[in-house]
Amino acid sequence: MARLILTPFGRPALEALAGVVAESQGDDPLGPVTVVVPSAPASVSVRRALGRRAATGLANVRTLALPQLAELLATPLASAGDRRPLTATWGAALVRAGLSEARPPLSQVPATAAVEEALTLTFARLREASDAELRALEKRSARAAAVIDRFRDHRERLEGHLDRHDLLVLAATAVRDGRAELNELGPVILHLPRRLGRSDLALLEALAARTEVVAVLGVTGDPDGDRPLRRLVEQLEPVLGPAPAAPDVPDPVPARIVLVPDPDEEAREAVRTVLARLEAEPVDLDRIAIVSRVTSPYRLLLHEHLETAGLPHHTDLPWSVAQSTPGRVLLGLLDLPEHSFRRADVARWLRSGPIRWHRLVRRPRRGRPWPPPGPGRRAGRPGRRLPSRWCRHCPGGSGPGPPVTTPTTPTTIGAPRPAGRRSRR
């Protein structure tokens, strides 16, 4: 039975998805169920979340993105033709080749990686436009005309390949004609879609005609934030039926601004906020994200402070010895003399890592401890080592100290040295 479910984002959305999966399997814990997620990376987190919420385990539940589902359903028709699937590398190479023949004003733009990526995304959006819509867009401006011209050239270069749009069309055709095997899919659950194109809707309409399709849509409670939701409801209501009333969404956590002196303290405050949130109520760590405007130095600082706090996390680190805590402390120490040990630099260096101060203790030779001040040291020369036989604190020593000779007559210049004393050079 096709239907729409509206639920708040986060934990309520996962609870709603787990309820639909349990209802679809019913009394058969091995019944097939297919969950369509927004992206391929999201399939891993959704599968783990469903596994944690299943009391008796989770089996035969497939989580995959809509293009992966289309590729699975279009296999009978795609394998019968001569066209090959288009890879991202080959598609980027074709965009780069077509950009070299662009006309003004697009020809005046340097062919950088950012331009190629923007054109690739634009061509993917224009793939579902009709010829009439392309002609209307071409008349808007010279830049639009140049982009449409490159798009037509790109379509000619892609002859003999299957892109995402072609796979969706073939999958919808295979489902309508009965060539796609749907018994292994079971009910199809569309979980929190972001946007749906015409080819996506065509595939969902074909699936709804042959099997059960359920869509779980997220609600934010904010009029501006729910604009994509209203668009999705308008697209899915003709296929899945009318949508229920939107549920009440709890008020979000109020935003606050914290002023701190440096990036290191910013990272510490972010970790403190996460810890306070976890102490207030149980929250899945995969539902918490720390976002920064720039990568450096926040990514490495956040990684170190999260490690110190013992919080499991995931981040992509370009690791090097200089970026580690010991390396940063050592490099900062070597840079202090260049700025004459300024107070601000020293304070910044002291905050760069856990620094411990150790007293440097000179150890005596032969492993003997230094004797305390007293008869074991000669007066006026506190740092001179004495023979062990003169020191009563040393092993084998029993004497009270070195013999002290007190002269009975004053020493005059030029007088002969006392017998038994050697001259010092």
pLDDT tens across 96-150, in order?
888 888 888 888 888 888 888 999 999 999 998 999 999 999 999 999 999 999 9
CA distance 379 to 374: 9
pLDDT tops 50 at residue 47: yes
Average pLDDT of every residue of the chain: 82
What's the pLDDT score for residue 364? 53
pLDDT tops 70 at residue 230: yes
CA distance 163 to 78: 11
Least trusted range by pLDDT, from 107-111, 244-248, 315-319: 315-319
pLDDT tens across 253-283, in order?
788 899 999 899 999 999 999 999 999 888 8
Q: Which residues of 328-346 are buried (b: 16+ CB within 10 A; e: fewer)?
A: bbeebeeeeeeeeeeeeee
